[in-house]
Amino acid sequence: MSGSVVLLHLAGAIALMLFATRLVKTGVERAYGDVLRHKLRATMRNPLMAVLAGTGLAVAFQSSTAVTLLVASFAGAGIVSGIAGQLAVRGAEIGSALVVKLLTFDLSLLVPLCLTAGTVMFMATERRDWRQFGRILIGIGLLLLSLEMIGQASEPLRDSQLMPMIVNYFAGDPVTAYLLAALVTWLFHSSIAAVLLMATLAGRGFIPPELGIVLVLGVNLGSSIIAPILTRRADPGIRVVPIGNLLMRGAGSLAMLVLFLAFDPPVAMLGSTVPDQIVNAHILFNCIILIAGLPLATLVYRLSQKIVELGTPPEPANALADTELSALDEKALDHPGQALANATREVVHVCETVEIMLNRIIDLYDKADEQKIAALSLLDDRIDKRHAAIKLYLAKLTTRSLSETEALRCQELLGACVKLEQVGDIIVRNMLAHVSKKMERGLTFTDEGWREITAFHDAVLTNARLTFNVLISRDPETARQIVLEKDRLRDMEKQSSQRHFERLRDGTVKSMETSTIHLDTIRDLKQINSLLASIAYPVLEQQGLLRGSRLQAATT
């Protein structure tokens, strides 16, 4: 077999591994994301629980980077402290290392079981939770299959005359090997995939143990760089956690490399085989970083704040009210396709503002002040201005000669913009009023009542993001999922109301004091979800999947 064919097979196996990892992560986010986010909010107050929560989330999401981004968003919103967020990320790194350890065992029998069971569950039902669990099983099966494929694809390299020369070069130049491993991990966007690849190649005899330790340290450097790059344009409060992780894990890997090269400790104690030594070294490194990070947490957090502040230009006091650039080019009106694209860009800006408002309103229920309330009201003014501009722009466009498809798209964008404007009004006129009332009277929800509200809000926010995607992609499967979720949220509302009235019957004081706010908030969130779900209707109508107020049965 020629070298190019071997590399092609190896590239295909690696691509399957990356896809399978993403498939598992997507399935977990869609099926259990709301619950996991809610659990994270509730447990991050305690440092030990923050570490354990990060570990559990990394195992569930199959990605420490995903956990880092999630925790960073919570820290940026003030839901958790920056120190607790960094401890959670420390736990997430250990969780991802444990996933690697689990996947190195002989799990070949699980491949057909996971693929069969996952496919049956995904195709045999329309229930969202079952379909997503089936997606998770398929992803696990493909991940295990990809590891077998990597081993088989690399087998011909045993007879290669070039491979020993490459390995010997990197063994003699550990700094280059360290940086190359960091680059590969950054390209993969997954430390799990990078370590699994190295362990698999080491099992075939291609990587000696000393070089494997160097590569593992490079993997940890590369993994620590991913989140800071992805959040480089985010709010300063969000960037602090990824920067702190880079300081601890990235700098820790560099320090550990220097110590390893200086003292050349024996690696046999890490395991009886080279793959075990590589994986165990990965786990040991992250445990050391966690232990070292506990006493240094406050120092690292302050240092990361200083670094973020140095790279953040000062914002004007009225930043929320600043006028933004508009995509509504009047010159493009004579070219309907281009004009519709411009209008779509502008509607996307409205979607982004609505998502910001949805994110911030739930935080105000927990901790509000007059300044934050006023800032949120300014966002609604921004939506009103954009809505008026888009409506006028599309009205002018309808005076041109449009095809049937262009006319339908024009109506679809106008309808979406109207509904987004109504969502903004509900948040500001209704939900902000509840926030002000709660703040003025010093009221607090019961723990159970607050869990119900945040869980309902998380579900609505997830559906909102899916709706914004459908507005661009026009994917019928996602649109169908959004409408099905509308029915699920109706059931959630009924269950929440029943539990609330049970607390009222039991005479719970907090429930009686916050009864109106609780019920009205759930009602407002349900109305927001209904408005957003209706944005997906045109896609389903064009596919013949919508009949009256009910979804038609799928024909495929």
DSSP letters of 430-491? IIHHHHHHHHHHT----HHHHHHHHHHHHHHHHHHHHHHHHHHH--HHHHHHHHHHHHHHHH
As a whole number, the mean pLDDT across the chain is 83
320 in a domain, yes or no?
Answer: no
> What CATH number is attached to the domain comprising 537?
1.20.58.220
Establish if 420 belongs to a structural domain: no
**Does 281 have pLDDT greater than 50?**
yes
User: What is the model's pLDDT at position 9?
Assistant: 86
Tell me: pLDDT of 166 over 60.
Answer: yes
Query: Are 468 and 550 members of one domain?
Result: yes
> Looking at the predicted structure, is the pLDDT value of residue 79 above 80?
no
**Are residues 387 and 257 part of one domain?**
no
In a domain, 316, yes or no: no
189: left (phi over 0), alpha (psi -120 to 50) or beta: left
What digits encode the pLDDT tens for the residues 505-545? 777 666 677 788 888 898 999 999 999 988 888 888 877 76
User: Stretch 163-176: mean pLDDT, rounded?
Assistant: 89
Would you state the pLDDT for residue 322? 47
Q: Indicate whether 334 and 259 sit together in one domain.
A: no
The one-letter code for the residue type at 243 is I
Which pLDDT score, from 0 to 100, does residue 552 have? 54
pLDDT at 446: 81
Q: How many CB atoms lie within 10 A of CB 520?
A: 15
Residues 195, 300, single domain; the answer is yes
Q: Which residues of 429-457 are buried (b: 16+ CB within 10 A; e: fewer)?
A: ebbbebbeebbeeeeebbebbbbbbbbbb
Mean pLDDT of 435-449: 82
Domain boundary among 365, 391, 413: 413
- Which residue range(s) make up the domain with 240? 3-310
Greater pLDDT, 511 or 270: 270
pLDDT at residue number 496: 80
The stretch 139-166 carries a mean pLDDT of 82
242/128 same-domain check:
yes
Nearest to 54 by CA among 12, 17, 10, 84: 84
Do 360 and 269 share a structural domain? no
% of the chain beyond a pLDDT of 90: 19
Q: Span 18-27, mean pLDDT?
A: 82
Which of the residue ranges 42-46, 185-189, 379-383 would you say has the lowest mean pLDDT?
A: 42-46
Same domain, 344 and 469: no
Residue 315 lies in a domain: no
Binned at pLDDT 50, 70 and 90, residue 143 comes out as confident
Please check whether residues 197 and 295 belong to one and the same domain: yes
Place of tokens 């911030």: 360
- What pLDDT, on the 0 to 100 scale, is given for residue 255? 94
Q: What DSSP string describes 173-186?
A: -HHHHHHHHHHHHH
Q: How confident is the model over 291-341, as pLDDT tens digits? A: 988 888 889 888 998 998 887 665 544 444 444 567 788 888 888 888 888
Give the pLDDT band of residue 253 (cuts 50, 70, 90).
very high
DSSP conformational letter for 553? P
Out of 398, 413, 428, a domain closes at 413
Per the CB < 8 A criterion, the answer to whether 62 and 21 are in contact is yes
pLDDT of residue 40: 63
Helix 404-425 and helix 370-397: axis angle, to 10°?
A: 160
Upper half-sphere CA count for residue 302 (Cβ side, 13 Å): 3
Q: Report the domain count for the chain.
A: 3
Q: Which comes out higher in pLDDT, residue 410 or 31?
A: 410
Three-class SS state of 550: strand
Q: Is the pLDDT of residue 555 over 50?
A: no
Clarify whether residues 192 and 332 are in a common domain: no
| 94 is a domain residue | yes
% of the chain at pLDDT higher than 70:
90
| Same domain membership, residue 303 and residue 237 | yes
pLDDT value of position 319: 45
Residues 130 and 239 in one domain: yes
361 and 302 share one domain: no
**271 conformational bin, left if phi > 0, alpha if psi -120 to 50, beta if neither:** left
Question: Residue 205 in 3-state DSSP?
Answer: coil
Q: 436 lies in a domain?
A: no
pLDDT score at 320: 44
DSSP bridge pairs for 547: 550
* Residue 417 in this model has a pLDDT that exceeds 70: yes
Examine the fold and report which residue of 264, 282, 310 is the final residue of a domain before the chain moves on. 310
pLDDT at 553 over 60: no
387-391, Cβ contacts within 8 angstroms, sequence gap of 24 or more: 387/350, 387/417, 387/418, 387/420, 387/421, 389/326, 389/328, 389/346, 390/328, 390/343, 390/346, 390/347, 390/350, 390/414, 390/417, 391/417, 391/418
What local confidence, expressed as pLDDT, does residue 318 receive? Answer: 46
Q: Is the pLDDT of residue 468 over 80?
A: yes
Query: Is 340 domain-assigned?
Result: yes
Residue 423 lies in a domain: no
Average pLDDT over residues 384-392: 87
Residue 545 is predicted with a pLDDT of 65
State the Cα–Cα distance between residues 321 and 385, nearest whole angstrom: 11
